[in-house]
Amino acid sequence: MTSAADPSRIDAETGPATPTATPTLSGVPLRTAKPSPRASAQADGRPDRRKRRPSSAEAGVRVPEEGPGRFEIAPGSTGSTGAGQLVTYTVEVEVGVPLAARKAAGIVDATLTDPRGWTAGDTRALQRVAGDADVRVLLATPGTTDALCAPLDTGGRLSCRNGGLVVLNAWRWVNGAATYDDLDDYRRYLVNHEFGHALGNDHEYCPNPGDPAPVMVQQTKSLEGCRPNPWPFP
């Protein structure tokens, strides 16, 4: 398989940090006992912990703060979408998170294969698989997210890309962010933003107030004067 991006890089909504070696369990990095340093750049110094009302589809869903660090992989696979270098991915949900892996995979698949998504650039083809993959998209509890994203400080509420892992905080998946009124659009943004890092894209900034925010803006934290936008090629 080809590498989607430099596997030594760590990207998150908290800003850049220097990666360090971590032990693994079942192929998933775990945080060492040493406390992780805080990320070097945070827009407001603290992750956004404000809760939003879940959509009716997720009403009553409560994501546990901690989990076992084991993941259920969504079964099956998709065809290849797009042109260019093939990047394969899995979708996995941490055991104990009350979200169905198959349903989560459907949302991720629809987002990544949308005509406004990353395949529109004609440089990558994307395909979900149920085995070895270039990228693992993980829906994880806040505690496991923090462990997998270290040394970045995700504060229990942010998400990241760490090497071949795209770690989506399941709390955000259920609760969204204050910057988005539409939970479905927020999920599309979250997938495209973190997967965008896996494809080698860095953070961007709002070009002009009132413009659609580039998807690589840290929109969970701030729109910087732009309008919410979940798509790389809107």
Between 42 and 142, where is the model more confident?
142
Helices 183-198, 101-112: axis angle to 10 degrees equals: 70
Q: What does the domain layout of the chain look like in residue ranges?
A: 62-198
Token pair in block for residue 232: 């790389």
Number of other CB atoms surrounding residue 62 within 10 Å: 10
**Mean local confidence (pLDDT), 151-173:** 97
Q: From 228, 182, 177, select the one nearest 50 (Cα to Cα).
A: 177
> What percent of the chain clears pLDDT 70, i.e. is strictly above it?
75
Q: Which CATH architecture has domain 62-198?
A: 3-Layer(aba) Sandwich (3.40)
E strand map for 147-189: 160-162, 165-169
**Average model confidence (pLDDT) across the chain:** 83
pLDDT of residue 11: 72
Buried residues in 82-93 as b, exposed as e (16+ CB within 10 A): beeeebbbbbbb
Express each pLDDT in 74-97 by its tens digit.
Answer: 999 999 999 999 999 999 999 999
**Mean local confidence (pLDDT), 3-27:** 47
Q: How far apart are CA 154 and CA 10, in angstroms?
A: 12
